[in-house]
Amino acid sequence: MKQVSQAVLRRCFFRWFFGSAAVFTPQRMQTLGLVYAMEPAVRDLYPEEEEYRKRLNSYRTLFNTEVQIGSAVIGMAIGLEEDSANGSGMDDDLMRTIRSGLMGSLAGLGDALLVGALIPLLLCIALDLGLAGAVSYLLVYGILGTWLQYRLFLRVYHLRDEGLAFLYSSRTKTAVRILQRCALLCIGIAMGHYGLPEHTLPGLSAGILLVLCGSLILRRTSVSVRGLLGIYTVLACILTFVF
């Protein structure tokens, strides 16, 4: 029975961790990152040159996901490749479909959970703690985050779809929605601490008004982010002359 060794698994993970987006282009996005990460596992499973090249080339279809939570896709791809090498009858098309399905859904989840909730929450705490916060963020997100990615990768590799089930559960969906709302609230609190034009009640009112009007302008009109900055700059000039 063919099985990928622990050392190869580690190599695959670290290749994905460091090289997933290293040659990112709008045309191929993370496709070559995926090929690069899968290469040691495919080499381990298929010693024959022809089969190895054929299998490796099957990973050259377009791939793009949220890199951090995307380590689960690599774990799943290695697991499926192992099953295929052991004669499970899993064909290329099915594996590609599974990868495509996962990359889309995990990209959405990763953007919402990590980029849209956890990172802002951690940064809000870090802002409040100043220097200690910066060091804590470095340690917590940098080291703990890397370890969690590795655990997720291993979990999905060993358990296949069962290892992923918790990411698609209604509990996770609820947690993401609540955390996103909490992140917005905490960003507001941090704005109240450090982002108000002046720490007075008129400053607070003006801050709230400008933030809400700005986001409404971005949402309801075709004004771009740069356009909004232009509007704020004009407003700043008017304020200069008024006060």
Given candidates 8, 12, 33, 102, which one binds other proteins under the rule CB under 8 A? 33
Given candidates 3, 5, 60, 86, which one binds other proteins under the rule CB under 8 A? 60
Kindly state the DSSP code that residue 114 receives in the 8-state scheme: I
Contact 34, 51 (CB under 8 A): no
Look at the chain and count its residues.
Answer: 243
**Candidates 1-9, 87-95, 127-135, 160-168 — which segment interacts with other proteins by CB under 8 A?**
127-135
**Under rule CB under 8 A, residue 223 binds other proteins:** no
Given candidates 73, 85, 103, 183, which one binds other proteins under the rule CB under 8 A? 183
CA separation for the pair 29, 97 (Å, rounded): 18
CA separation for the pair 190, 138 (Å, rounded): 19
Q: Which of residues 38-57 bind other proteins (CB under 8 A)?
A: 39, 43, 49, 53, 56-57
Residue 111 three-state SS: helix
The sign of the CA dihedral 128, 131, 133, 134 is positive
Interface with other proteins: number of residues (CB under 8 A)? 108
**Nearest distance, CB of residue 172 and other proteins, angstroms:** 8
**Nearest distance, CB of residue 3 and other proteins, angstroms:** 21
